[in-house]
């Protein structure tokens, strides 16, 4: 039987997931001949990473996997098992013998509060939270393929129980502090009277059937009874310390947002099942919470804006005001439910290396062993459609000429570790931060010049390659795994179709920025006393901070800590991102220099609260302990973060329903159960694309 030729265009999570699932079994490998075409020298897309000449990891931003990424971990668990199987002939000194050796668990996240109403001293305050819910005994990937709606009722019950238990504990503590205050007495008495039926319900719900309508009414009564208490907690009148004022503020947010969120879920989502999420995607998440009774101060608080920071949900990149954030309510709510209830093992999993090391190098090696072909240094320039609506020709721009038949992209890295009291050297394959120049014909730019292969505004060669459709030609099926912003100029034929055109018009993405800082000071010496954490809603524009010193054993010795910072990038007026195609060879270098400047400004504004150990003369940060810095503006369209804006989700196309018979789609920009920018959405999309190919072209 002749194999069907499948071409995958792109090298990110969606593309590699599609290739992985299309080659998952010997039977599939006998049916499909898969080739991945990607620009540049490495896989990863906006998750690509490489190591510099010293061996330090250079990322596009702060990357980690979440414990509810069951599609991702299903593939990775299988990949690492294969990588360490006899058929792959792994060396005895391989660094990671299993998937869980390649990851570290992370439970704590930190919400950062800058202005506390009524506080005597305005300073940054931190709410360090161990993410609740989930199953610490499980493993991510356990729920791969589970019915997406199976936890909807459980979500209500878990949220109700957590709300009642947390509120009662905090109320008792606050009563001990405020019992003499008349305003407190009145507010808490009224609230307890309205809250008691809800407490009774929580005790009874495991053994009784409950009505969504009755429960929503009960919660609404509780919300009304708690109105005075929430207002009091947001602005307490008693003479209390700032620490207690912060504790009461957190209780107010828990009550206000918890009641509004559960009421909205009961009224808008649960009665319709999964369709309920789609029905509220026409409005912003903040507006949806406000509609169900939450105060503006609450919906603009770090508790809510943390979701916006995690999803870079600031169209245009200006994250300086909560009002600038926008995300479809159903996407945000569904993501929040999954984050809290469906994680396994840990809510967050940090990689013991870069994305290129831990995700894409193992997947690449296993795919190569399966017979999947890779053609690097090929940039998509056009998809041509025939009269029947099929993709008939794919045009690629060849970026570099190889000195031999195929490009071998990985380098071997060595790490010294202490195991059982002895120092041993371990090895691992990973991507370098530059191409392996000795495999390429000389290019116009010198090896130490800015790299052109991932820069969409630089053309290194004019030679094009056409792939033609047909059983005896180059391909029969194609998977487009390049986001709309990066591929729209190559899909002009496709845009003649109304559905595709509508998808392009509604799709949106945002540029991001990132900085990595290596210090000759430990985390404790920097002054952070709350342990390893992932923080959000901090100083703009690098609003998210990840303490990543667990990577130090996997990098060259020297630094004592390493910190990752990221956020959205608001491109200055007059420096707009150029359209595609075009020749702007200095644009990315200019934006990178601007991010270095922004990082220096951020450090002056933000170091005191989290890293007071950097304090220098005159209150300025002492940059002497900084060993190295890597800053990056992710402005290229393939590097931008895909947004989930209100009213846009309905126009997303499913991976197996592009509207063109022989074209499938993969990436976090397609319609999935997530519908948001993350690795899980892209891996799920790749899996769905593969299932579509298998079903339609067996």
Residue 4 · residue 694 · CB < 8 Å: no
Dist CA 21 CA 1 (whole Å): 20
Instruction: Look at residue 161 in the predicted model and tell me its pLDDT.
Output: 86
Residue 238 has a pLDDT of 67
Alpha helices in 272-417 (DSSP H): 274-279, 285-291, 296-299, 302-310, 329-341, 355, 361-370
CB 288 within 8 A of CB 155: no
Q: Is the pLDDT at 631 greater than 80, yes or no? A: yes
Residue with tokens 């001990």: 176
List the beta strands (DSSP E) in 80-160. Answer: 103-106, 108-113, 125-130
Q: Please, which residues bridge with residue 634 across strands? A: 512
What are phi and psi for residue 127, nearest 5 degrees? -105, 105
> Is residue 483 very low, low, confident or very high in pLDDT (cuts 50, 70, 90)?
very high
pLDDT surpasses 50 at 425: yes
Alpha carbon distance 303, 310 (integer Å)? 12
- pLDDT band for position 148 (cuts 50, 70, 90): low
CB within 8 Å of 396: residues ≥ 6 apart:
37, 378, 379, 380, 381, 464, 465, 466, 467
Q: In what order do the strands lie in the sheet with 512-519?
A: 125-130, 108-113, 534-536, 544-547, 561-568, 512-519, 626-634
- pLDDT, residue 587, reads 94
The yes-or-no verdict on residue 444 having pLDDT over 70 is: no
The per-residue b/e assignment along 155-184, b for 16 or more CB within 10 angstroms, e otherwise, is bbebbbebbbebbeebbeebeebbeebebb
Q: What per-residue confidence (pLDDT) applies to 447?
A: 46
Sign of the Cα pseudo-torsion (481, 482, 487, 490, in order): negative
Query: Tell me: the pLDDT tens digits for 245-302?
Result: 999 999 999 999 999 999 999 999 988 988 999 999 999 999 999 999 999 999 999 9
Query: What pLDDT, on a 0 to 100 scale, did the predictor assign at position 1?
Result: 64
Residues 518-546, mean pLDDT to the nearest whole number? 97
Which whole number is the average pLDDT over 644-661? Answer: 98
- 3-state class of 297 per DSSP? helix
pLDDT of residue 197: 86
Omega before 581 cis (within 30°)? yes
Task: Say if residues 478 and 393 touch (Cβ distance below 8 Å).
Answer: no
> Are 277 and 148 contacting, i.e. CB atoms less than 8 angstroms apart?
no
Q: What is the dihedral of CA 683, 687, 692, 693, to 10 degrees?
A: 100
| Separation CA 684–CA 14 (nearest Å) | 8
Q: What pLDDT was estimated at residue 20?
A: 98
Q: What is the pLDDT of residue 462?
A: 82
Q: Is the pLDDT of residue 209 over 80?
A: no
Q: Higher model confidence: residue 223 or residue 309?
A: 309
Per the structure block, which two tokens stand in for 455?
């820069």
Q: At what angle do helices 212-225 and 182-204 cross, to 10 degrees?
A: 170
Question: Average of pLDDT values for 43-47?
Answer: 96
Residue 449 has pLDDT above 70, yes or no: no
- Mean of pLDDT values over 335-347: 94
Assign 303 to helix, strand or coil. Answer: helix
Question: With bands split at pLDDT 50, 70 and 90, how would you rate the model's confidence at 552?
Answer: very high
User: Which residue from 409, 384, 408 is spatially nearest to 396, judged by alpha carbons?
Assistant: 384
Q: Cα separation of 233 and 607, whole Å?
A: 30
Give pLDDT, residue 446. Answer: 45
On whether the CB atoms of residues 190 and 222 are closer than 8 A, the answer is no
Share of the chain above pLDDT 90, in %: 79
The dihedral over CA atoms of 536, 537, 538, 539, expressed in degrees to the nearest 10, equals: 140
Rounded Cα gap, residues 59 and 51, in angstroms: 9
Q: Between 585 and 282, name the one with better pLDDT.
A: 282
Among the ranges given (7-11, 207-211, 282-286), the one the predictor scored with the smallest mean pLDDT: 207-211
Considering the chain, what percentage of its residues have pLDDT values greater than 70?
A: 97
CA dihedral 652, 656, 659, 665 (to 10 degrees): 70
Give the containing element (helix H, strand E) for 204: helix 182-204
Q: What is the mean pLDDT of the chain?
A: 93
Phi, psi (5° rounding) for residue 553? -65, -15
> Residue 149: its pLDDT value, please?
64
pLDDT in tens, 170-204: 898 888 888 888 889 999 999 988 888 888 888 87
Whether residue 445 has pLDDT greater than 60: no
Check residue 563 and give its pLDDT.
98
How many C-beta atoms surround the C-beta of residue 23 within 10 A? 22
pLDDT at res. 383: 98
Q: How many residues does the chain have?
A: 698
């Amino acid at each position: 039987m002749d194999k069907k030729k499948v071409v995958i265009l792109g090298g990110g999570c969606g593309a590699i997931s599609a290739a992985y699932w299309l080659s998952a079994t010997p039977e599939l490998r006998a049916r499909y001949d898969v080739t991945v075409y990607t620009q540049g020298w490495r896989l990863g897309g906006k998750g690509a990473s490489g190591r510099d000449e010293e061996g330090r990891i250079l990322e596009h931003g702060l990357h980690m996997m979440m414990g509810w990424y069951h599609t991702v971990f299903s593939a990775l668990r299988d990949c690492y098992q294969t990588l360490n199987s006899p058929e792959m002939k792994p060396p005895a000194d391989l660094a990671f013998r299993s998937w869980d050796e390649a990851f570290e668990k992370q439970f704590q996240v930190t919400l950062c509060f800058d202005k506390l109403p009524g506080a005597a001293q305005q300073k940054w305050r931190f709410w360090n939270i161990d993410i609740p819910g989930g199953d610490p005994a499980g493993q991510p990937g356990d729920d791969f393929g589970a019915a997406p709606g199976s936890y909807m009722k459980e979500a209500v019950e878990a949220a109700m129980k957590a709300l009642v238990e947390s509120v009662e504990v905090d109320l008792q503590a606050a009563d001990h502090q405020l019992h003499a205050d008349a305003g407190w007495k009145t507010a808490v008495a009224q609230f307890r009277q309205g809250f008691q039926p809800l407490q009774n319900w929580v005790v009874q719900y495991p053994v009784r059937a409950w009505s969504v309508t009755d429960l929503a009414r009960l919660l609404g009564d509780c919300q009304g009874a708690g109105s005075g208490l929430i207002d009091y907690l947001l602005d307490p009148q008693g003479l209390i310390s700032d620490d207690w004022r912060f504790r009461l503020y957190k209780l107010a947010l828990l009550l206000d947002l918890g009641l509004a969120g559960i009421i909205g879920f009961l009224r808008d989502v649960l009665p319709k099942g999964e369709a309920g999420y789609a029905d509220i995607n026409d409005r912003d998440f903040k507006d949806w919470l406000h509609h169900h009774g939450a105060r503006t101060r609450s919906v603009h608080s770090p508790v809510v804006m943390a979701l916006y920071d995690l999803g870079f949900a600031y169209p245009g990149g200006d994250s300086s005001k909560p009002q600038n954030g926008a995300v479809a309510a159903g996407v945000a709510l569904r993501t929040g439910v999954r984050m809290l209830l469906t994680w396994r093992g840990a809510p967050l999993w940090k990689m013991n290396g870069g994305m290129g090391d831990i995700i894409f190098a193992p997947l690449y090696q296993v795919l190569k062993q399966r017979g999947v072909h890779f053609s690097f240094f090929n940039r998509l320039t056009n998809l041509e459609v025939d009269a029947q609506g099929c993709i008939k020709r794919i045009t690629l721009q060849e970026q570099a000429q190889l000195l031999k038949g195929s490009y071998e992209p990985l380098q071997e890295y060595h790490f010294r570790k202490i195991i059982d009291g002895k120092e041993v050297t371990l090895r691992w394959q990973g991507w370098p931060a530059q191409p392996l120049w000795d495999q390429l014909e000389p290019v116009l730019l010198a090896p130490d010049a800015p790299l052109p292969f991932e820069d969409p505004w630089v053309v290194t060669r004019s030679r094009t390659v056409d792939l033609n459709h047909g059983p005896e030609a180059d391909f029969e099926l194609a998977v487009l795994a390049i986001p709309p912003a990066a591929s729209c100029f190559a899909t002009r034929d496709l845009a003649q179709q109304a559905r595709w055109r509508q998808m392009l018009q509604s799709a949106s993405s945002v540029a991001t920025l990132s900085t990595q800082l290596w210090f000759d000071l430990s985390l404790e010496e920097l002054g952070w006393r709350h342990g390893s954490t992932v923080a959000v809603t901090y100083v703009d524009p690098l609003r998210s901070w990840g303490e990543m010193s667990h990577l130090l054993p996997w990098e060259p010795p020297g630094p004592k800590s390493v910190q990752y910072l990221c956020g959205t990038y608001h491109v200055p007026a007059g420096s707009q991102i150029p359209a595609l195609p075009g020749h702007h060879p200095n644009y990315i270098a200019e934006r990178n220099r601007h991010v270095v400047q922004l990082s220096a400004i951020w450090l002056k504004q933000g170091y005191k609260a989290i890293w007071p150990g950097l304090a220098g003369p005159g209150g300025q940060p002492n940059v002497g302990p900084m060993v190295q810095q890597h800053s990056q503006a992710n402005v290229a369209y393939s590097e931008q973060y895909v947004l989930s804006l209100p009213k846009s989700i309905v126009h997303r196309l499913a991976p197996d329903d592009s509207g063109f018979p022989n074209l499938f789609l993969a990436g976090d920009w397609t319609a999935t159960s997530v519908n948001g920018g993350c690795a899980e959405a892209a891996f799920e999309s790749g899996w769905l694309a593969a299932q579509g190919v298998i079903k339609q072209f067996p």
